[in-house]
Amino acid sequence: MNPQHLIKMANQIGTFFSAMPDRAQSAKDVAAHIQRAWEPRMRAELLQHVSRGGSAELIPIVQEALPLIQVAVRPS
């Protein structure tokens, strides 16, 4: 997975949700969308990239959502 592509996609998601008035809910919505739409290895690669210092490339709303993103699939 190309981290730059994941950053671009995450920022596009963040841009969409950042237009909403409730900032805290927007961050939750970004995380929820990534949780639902991305497969675990994509989430893992994004979080690994960020842990290596790549968070500066992310827009603020996505940075706020990062702690809410989980790599493992949650059982239904």
In a domain, residue 76? The reply is no
In a domain, residue 46? The reply is yes
State the pLDDT at residue 54. Answer: 87
State the pLDDT at residue 1. Answer: 80
In a domain, residue 75? The reply is no
In 3-state terms, what secondary structure has residue 22?
Answer: coil
Could you tell me the residue range of the domain that residue 52 belongs to?
3-68
Q: Which residue type is seen at 52?
A: R
**Percent of the chain scoring above 70 in pLDDT:** 95
Q: How far is CA 13 from CA 4, 20, 46, 71, in A?
A: 14, 12, 14, 18
In a domain, residue 59? The reply is yes
Q: Is the pLDDT of residue 35 over 90?
A: yes
Total number of domains in the chain: 1
In a domain, residue 61? The reply is yes
